[in-house]
Amino acid sequence: MVKLLLVIRKGGDKLHKKKILLSIFIFGLTLSSLLVVDIFFPLDFLKGFTVTDKIFIWAITSIFFVYRMNINSKRQLVTLSISSEKDENKEKDKSTISFKDVAGLEEIKEELQETIDFLNNPHKYIKMGAKIPKGILFYGPPGTGKTLLAKAVAGETNSTFLYSSGSEFVEKYVGVGAKRVRTLFERAKKEAPSIIFIDEIDAIGAKRNLDSNNEKDQTLNQLLVEMDGFNTSETVIIVGATNRIDLLDEALLRPGRFDRHIYVGNPNINAREKILEVHTKNKPLDSAVNIKSIAQKTTGLSGAELANIANEAAIIAVRNNKNKIFINDFNQAIERVVAGLEVKNPSILFKEKKTVSVHESGHALVGKILKSDMIQKISIVPRGQALGYVLKFPDEERYLLTKKELTNKIIVLLGGRAAEQLVFNEITTGAKDDLNKATEIAREMVCSYGMSSFGNITIEDYYIKYNYEVIRKEIKKILDKCFESALRILDENKMILTVVADELMKKETLTSEELDEILKQYELSSNTAT
């Protein structure tokens, strides 16, 4: 019996504690069962066990049985324990990314130099009594490089990079999220200099109200406490990233917590060119490929989308057995990213194909007349969920839009639906996406830009639900007026609409140059005042 226990103990040095206990329990249960059988049917291999040994084995087995039953009756506590273990495996690394890997965003990189200098030379600032920002908040559209910037700061300072997502702190069990926050900050202090990066911080930092979840509130409160607990001498910086800064609690945004708010938007033409150069530097490009020209065609796209375009172009070139990437590969990649995957051998009825031709021709013709955007291509080849599309980008970088320009955008969006109404005297379901985009622009005009009959006023989301019907009528008024304008423009140029639609039916795709050639043969009506 003593030898048996020694063997088990020796094996326990290599096994996990829980596995040892489970193994002992199973072994004891088996042995106890055999000892019971031995009472009625004596077994030769159990002759060495004394009565004392048998009593001892039964007692130990009973204790383990009660222990296991107690564990099973408290599963919630076990879950909490397991959940908290996630904190011990938090992603930690020394970032190898530097500012050389971040194309564009020059102004932001310059803004971050002070933070980098503080992490590298903290005593210089402490000596002067200067306080470096405790927190930096990156906000802006998805895919613009917020995470990359945080990693670059860590790489420039050789700091420990602790990554976490806001959703990792959200649990249904009270106190778990707060514990994870405490653990994360404790590790950051131990491994300083360090950078804590919380992606999608709005998951835990959303505004508190009467309907707030108690667990979320506790987690946010703990985050606020930890940020307040920093000493000026501690070389720990917390960086947050969000797509919706308007959702964050004011207590999180005040000075002393997230001191600096840095907007990371979509890159301009110069930044796009640099981003494309970074993502194509190791790719065999044809000499005719002009990166600047590609940058001009990709207005409004994020850095992530540009990286995807460069990768898709390479994939397309390989697919076609090319040894270089040509400009046509990039054009196809742009369409792939913007419009979706091309549908091979689509089964579309002739009537539907005709409707799509008229619809897309309506968009293109109204866009040309209003000079809203630069049209690159019209196609009725299905991509993704769309049966056809007009590939267009602004012909110049714009940051401010007038009321007339926004109105024209709505008119262009409704041009397809208006063309269907004009030619077929009925409308289809093909304008779903157009209506969503047009409605969103009209809503912004009413609620955000003060460009409606409501006057110079903005309406917050909180008040919209209490004034929904009044706001809906105002949005509808704008959309109805724009639809009437689209109808009038197309009616005045109905013959040209028919010609463009017929040509699109034949070729399935029209380039900007081909569209211009058609329009040169006709005189467009300029009586388009809205």
pLDDT at 310 over 90: yes
Residue 43 confidence (pLDDT): 65
3-state DSSP assignment of residue 393: strand
Question: Six-digit token pair at 271?
Answer: 């930044």
- Tell me how far apart the alpha carbons of residues 404 and 33 are, in angstroms, rounded to a whole number: 88
Q: Tens digit of pLDDT for each residue in 37-54?
A: 666 666 666 666 666 766
Lowest mean pLDDT among 171-175, 230-234, 376-380, 423-427: 230-234
Q: In what order do the strands lie in the sheet with 236-242?
A: 92-94, 160-165, 194-199, 236-242, 135-139, 258-263
The domains of the chain, with CATH numbers, are 2-73 (no CATH), 89-263 (3.40.50.300), 269-339 (1.10.8.60), 350-520 (1.20.58.760)
SS (H, E, C) 83-126: HHHHHHHCCEEECCCCHHHCCCCHHHHHHCHHHHHHHHCHHHHH
Per-residue pLDDT band at 12 (split at 50, 70, 90): very low
- Tell me how far apart the alpha carbons of residues 367 and 379 are, in angstroms, rounded to a whole number: 15
| Longest alpha-carbon distance in the chain | 112
Residue 319 confidence (pLDDT): 92
Per-residue pLDDT band at 1 (split at 50, 70, 90): very low
Residue 20 confidence (pLDDT): 67
**Contact, 263 vs 91, CB < 8 A?**
no
- Tell me how far apart the alpha carbons of residues 448 and 289 are, in angstroms, rounded to a whole number: 41
> Peptide bond before 255: cis, by omega within 30 degrees of 0?
no
Residue 78 confidence (pLDDT): 34
**Residue whose pair of structure tokens reads 């039953």 in the numeric block:** 69
Per-residue pLDDT band at 444 (split at 50, 70, 90): very high
Residues with Cβ within 8 Å of 352's Cβ and at least 6 positions away in sequence, in order, are 387
Using the CB atoms, write b or e for 105-125: b if 16+ within 10 Å.
Answer: beebbeebeebbebbeebeeb
pLDDT at 525 over 80: no
Residue 260 confidence (pLDDT): 87
pLDDT at 2 over 70: no
Per-residue pLDDT band at 446 (split at 50, 70, 90): very high
Per-residue pLDDT band at 434 (split at 50, 70, 90): very high
Q: Of the residues 156, 226, 305, 360, which is catalytic? A: 360
Residue 472 confidence (pLDDT): 92
Q: Tens digit of pLDDT for each residue in 177-232?
A: 888 888 888 888 888 888 889 988 988 888 876 555 576 778 888 888 888 876 55
Lowest mean pLDDT among 200-204, 217-221, 295-299, 462-466: 462-466
Q: Please, which residues bridge with residue 242 across strands?
A: 139
Q: Tens digit of pLDDT for each residue in 68-90?
A: 666 554 443 333 333 444 444 44
Phi, psi values for residue 262, rounded to 5° = -120, 120
Phi, psi values for residue 157, rounded to 5° = -110, 0
Mean local confidence (pLDDT), 475-495: 95
pLDDT at 141 over 60: yes
For residues 461 and 480, which has the higher predicted lDDT (pLDDT)?
Answer: 480
Question: Six-digit token pair at 17?
Answer: 């504690």
Residue 190 confidence (pLDDT): 87
Residue 14 confidence (pLDDT): 42
Residue 89 confidence (pLDDT): 44
**226 catalytically annotated:** no
Question: Six-digit token pair at 387?
Answer: 């049966």
Residue 204 confidence (pLDDT): 85
Mean local confidence (pLDDT), 2-18: 46
Residue 524 confidence (pLDDT): 67
* Helix 17-40 vs helix 51-72: crossing angle, to nearest 10: 130
Q: How many Å separate Cα 423 from the centre of its chain?
A: 41
Give Cα separations from 62 to 26, 35, 71 (angstroms). Answer: 12, 14, 14
Residue 82 confidence (pLDDT): 35
3-state DSSP assignment of residue 197: strand
